[in-house]
Structure 1
């Protein structure tokens, strides 16, 4: 279990990320702007999701003109059908989901090294996952990339250097990504708490404040044009 004593340190990381905003490379190879990106509300406030399943709802979006980004800190109901989440009431999303087509290239927003990787193949898990360790202004933190292709893990080595703006992985299809509509789960993690190739991407409401402190908003690395919406817990 994470300890709340770390929250002050986490705020330091937020300030560092905010101060470097606009200096990170584009994770999709191009900038996300108000013209090409839209917020995807997957929270319990979206009443449309009450009448449609997640996959059907996402499939009806305008993917031709927009990149859709699922929110950080959302309380979601889409995990209710999976035993991976329901046994501990995990419903608070700790990263940003970017809806993408299988095979889409993903680029490193800043330099780092491979911390760990794994194919988390359980249904509704991450599927192939890569975690990169970074250092910025003397502060160590990590970025997690989930729902990748299996080929993305080929020839990776722990400690392998990843350059800023390097193409290092691709989005997987639902046959390998845990069974989800294809997307990237992107998450910032300060303290990995001895996790290897995996880290919770969803927290219970009870534990959410501690997990959200250890996993600050990744929007600063994505170059969002506006401050992100943080959903009430």
Structure 2
């Protein structure tokens, strides 16, 4: 499987590098990843160190970020990130992972949520597969309609600003599911460790689909 462009095709596969936002990175012991200026400074430093531009990572990454937010403290602590994040500037184009139609969309606009979110439905290996694109621009939503078809690599949206994307440094949250479980325009993207088994086979590792 070849590399798939989810972010602006001006950034080739060789321009991607992994970034660590996990609890195992000592930098986040004393720095708040949710503080956008701090994160942007850290990201800029890592881009220079790697001589690459698009930072990515996060599937099943345990993050201190969520331990500091009341949003993720509903009973059990939810701190395991279930998608992959790709950081690029606000306004960067976002592209469909494969041929599909719009399943649903919503503006999950409370702080710490996805902001504008688009979910596509795909036919993949004789089964249904769903791709979620979060932290998008509000201006994209006027062009979305359930059932609209997109081709692989076709632009579907642009990245939103912190004021519209849930309050994060601009990035794409990308996630793959085999069953929407009744959700529309939304799907859990951060789980408690005890819930991981319940979602085994439902939320897939997106890395092989992107990087081949």
Aligned partner of residue 158 in structure 1, secondary structure: coil
- Does structure 2 retain, via aligned residues, the 8 Å contact 1:94–1:212? no
Name the counterpart of 1:190: 178
- Does structure 1 retain, via aligned residues, the 8 Å contact 2:87–2:172? yes
Give the distance between the partners of 2:135 and 2:200, measured in 1 at CA.
21
Name the counterpart of 1:53: 32
1:85 aligns with 2:72: yes
Aligned partner of residue 79 in structure 1, secondary structure: helix
CA shift for structure 1 position 222: 1.4
Aligned-residue RMSD, C-alpha: 1.6
2:162 to 168, 174, 189: 174
Residue by residue over 1:115-172, the C-alpha shift from the partner in whole angstroms, topping out at 9 and shown as x without a partner, is 0000000110000000000001211110000000001111311111111121110000
Q: How do 1:6-85 residues align onto structure 2 when only pairs under 5 Å count?
A: 21-22=1-2, 25-28=4-7, 29=9, 32-33=12-13, 35-54=14-33, 55=36, 56-62=38-44, 63=47, 65-85=52-72
Residue by residue over 1:2-45, the C-alpha shift from the partner in whole angstroms, topping out at 9 and shown as x without a partner, is xxxxxxxxxxxxxxxxxxx21x6422225653x42111111110
- Structure 2 stretches of 5 or more lacking a match? none
Aligned partner of residue 130 in structure 1, secondary structure: strand
Give the distance between the partners of 2:151 and 2:114, measured in 1 at CA.
24
TM score, norm. by length of structure 1: 0.82
Give the distance between the partners of 1:217 and 1:32, measured in 2 at CA.
21
> Cα distance 1:57–1:156, how it changes in 2: closer, same or farther (>3 A)?
closer
CA shift for structure 1 position 81: 2.3
- Does structure 1 retain, via aligned residues, the 8 Å contact 2:106–2:186? yes
Give the distance between the partners of 2:145 and 2:43, measured in 1 at CA.
37
Give the distance between the partners of 2:32 and 2:176, measured in 1 at CA.
28
Residue by residue over 1:177-226, the C-alpha shift from the partner in whole angstroms, topping out at 9 and shown as x without a partner, is 000111100000110000010001000010012224311111122126xx
TM score, norm. by length of structure 2: 0.89
Q: How do 1:130-141 residues align onto structure 2 when only pairs under 5 Å count?
A: 130-141=118-129
Give the distance between the partners of 1:215 and 1:32, measured in 2 at CA.
26
Give the distance between the partners of 1:134 and 1:146, measured in 2 at CA.
17
Give the distance between the partners of 1:216 and 1:173, measured in 2 at CA.
27
